[in-house]
Structures are given as structure tokens and as C-alpha cells.
Structure 1
């Protein structure tokens, strides 16, 4: 039988949704989360984390952690991003999140079109899965809220950059602060804008 990722009748009980947050920013780690939802404890309001308010994401993150059968949040550091590139670092964070689940997943549905290597279970990809599969939505929310919390810590350590506002993305404000202060240790030196800035110092 050909497997249809959107046919819930074919899903095993221990289905993990896996998603990432933070591939695009110029600073900070990239995060990933894996979630196995409990069908007996439904969570209302799950959806694409990018379309939810910060307050709603925080509320849902608490519900996910309380009601899911299993969840785990992992990351890949700035040093790892600069060493192996952002795509491979993202795959590594996803692998770490998925393989740490207890109980282990029987099947992982990965948001996007690339499978991480080294997963301990079968896996399939699903483009825009965070808007279609509740477990992926839940993973998206956990990854996003974890990274946002880290950005707040980065802001407290380096308040001159405004990480609490732009979350590390290359906004006009971020570019202005970079020109004024130069990159800090949280900036991804493998990213072209940061690399060029360092070359011109």
C-alpha cells in the first residue's frame, strides 16, 4: 500500500511532527522540536506558528508540554551553523529533537522537503506540513517559542542589537545596529551579510 502522509488512518499511534525555527536569522542558534500528540488530549488552536500571536504561541506551548505523549526541543549552535552550514545544522537539530523522544516515534513527519539523516524511525517530508498536520504545528510552536525565549536572553546579554525586536532577522534596525556596533559572538559568520561586514573591518 502506498503511504499517504495526509491519510490519518495510516498514521501509527506514535507519530511525531518535526519542525524548525530560525533558519533565516543572522544570529543565534537554529531550533527544532518534535512532538507526539496524545489523541485522548486534543489541543484546540494548533496551526502554523508564524500565523499565531506571541501570546497564543506561549499558551499553546504550555498546553503541548502538558498534554503531549512526548516532546523534545533541540538546537544547533552558531558554531555548528558556521561549521557545517545552516541547512545541515537545521537537519542536525531536527535529528536531535526526534531521536530524543521518549517514547520513541514510529514515524516522523518532517516539515519541508528534506529528511534529516540518522533518524531512529521511518520518516516522510511534507511541504507546509505545519498548516496541515497538528503534530507538526505543535513542533513548530515549540521550536518558535524556544527560539524567541533565547532571543530575549540574547537581548539581555547584548541590548545594543535589539534582538528582542527583530529576533536576529536582517531588518533595517538590525542592520543599523550592526553598522554601529559590529557583529557579536551570536552572529553567524558564515552568513554573507555578516561575513562581508567582517571582511570590511
Structure 2
């Protein structure tokens, strides 16, 4: 099925309504994985015509996605990546970990953006960033689509390299599943237990009697405050 190519409509709107000139598209990968970091890419593209075939990374074949990421890294005005580790995800929860990774990516850009376009409907960045959320922005917005492809390829490469660090890790097939759930990944976990790259607060451990004692329970700020008699109206 052919897809409409992404456009600069959102960037042009932000320029017209806010005066923003440097606009970063931001997208993440790794949110639903069992292992590995959550990775965020921030990409600044200007208003130039993008390479042919740019769209949401999930809609592009692995081979073409790798080729396109190499093209995009040369084509974009600037880009940077930020990561939040499995330990940080376990400690903070996914929303706060996403914000941490995104801020790291944005702070690594050579120039601070005037505005940020986030894929999806939830603004996990918040103050002090000027944020525009766009549902399916990785399909409709050039900067977000570029960030989507670069983030996906860079994280997939990182996970494949982790799988080569030890002969035992090859059993997890990180090169094939990038740390996401799969039958091979599940079988290796049940036999060998989690590696240092696994998220130990994830529910997959509940179904593994040999390893469920390793599960980390994250207590929210609100729950901790209530237990101590305090009052807080927010959670990580």
C-alpha cells in the first residue's frame, strides 16, 4: 500500500504561529522492548526536500531503512541521539525515561531548537520546551520521520552488537529482535535468565518462576508519599 510522503506542514505552521526557526523532530524506539535502552533521536531538517521513500521507519524494509538512515544522517541539518538505560527505565518508569533520553538528544544538538515536534499525542517533554505533538508524525512530518528512521537503525545496530559481546548472548537473538519480545528471546530468558541489558521491572518476569525473584518493583512518588503520610499529586 503506498503512503503519502511526509511534508513540512507542521514546521511551516510553527514558523508562522510561533516564530520558531530551528525546529527539531523527535521520535523514540525501544519503548516496548524487554532489553536494551529506549532511544530518542532529535533531527533538524529545515524545509528542504527529503530523500525519496522517507516515511515511518516501521513501514520501510530493513535493508532500505539502513540505506535511508545513512542518507538522512548526511542530509539533515543536524541530529543527535539520547538513550535511557534499562536501569534508568526500571528506576524512573518509561515516561520519565523517555523524557531523559529526549532531553539528552536535544541537549546534544549544536543549536538549541526553538520548538520540538513529538510523535504521538502525549507530551512527555513538557516545560521549558515548546512542544507540538502530532499523531502519526513519523508518517506525516519530515523531521519526525527522519528521526524515526535514524533512531531505529542506530538502536537496532546497538542491540546487534550487544548480542556479539558474549557467546551466551547470541541465544537471545538481539540481532533479530532488537530486545523486543519474540519466541527465541523468551526461550533464552526462561533458560538463562535476564542479562545486564534486560529491564527488570517489566512484567515478562512474572511468567518465569525461576527468575521472578529478580523483578524490581518501582514505587511511585505518590505511593511513597502516602505511605509516609505526605501528600503528592504526581507520579514519575
Q: Say which SS state the counterpart of residue 196 (structure 2) adopts.
A: coil
Q: Which has the higher contact order (CA 8 A, sep 6+)?
A: 1
Tell me the TM-score normalised to structure 2 length: 0.77
Q: CA deviation at 1:114?
A: 2.0
Which residue matches 1:102? 110
Q: Match for 2:201 among 178, 187, 190?
A: 190
RMSD between aligned residues: 2.0
Structure 2's unaligned 5+ residue stretches are: 1-7, 16-20, 215-236
Contact 1:161 1:177 in 2 (8 A): yes
Q: Match for 1:45 among 32, 48, 53?
A: 53
Per-residue CA shift, 1:111-152, capped at 9, x if unaligned? 012223366641111111101101000000111011101111
Which residue matches 1:199? 212
- For residues 71 and 42 of structure 2, what CA distance do their matches in structure 1 show? 15
Tell me the TM-score normalised to structure 1 length: 0.89
Give 4+ residue runs of structure 1 displaced > 6 Å after superposition: none
Contact 1:26 1:194 in 2 (8 A): no
Q: Say which SS state the counterpart of residue 110 (structure 1) adopts.
A: strand
Structure with the greater alpha carbon radius of gyration? 2
Q: CA deviation at 1:45?
A: 1.6
Q: 1:22 to 1:7 in 2, by over 3 A?
A: closer
Which residue matches 1:149? 157
How many residues end up aligned between the 2 structures? 197
- For residues 86 and 195 of structure 1, what CA distance do their matches in structure 2 show? 18
Which residue matches 1:23? 31
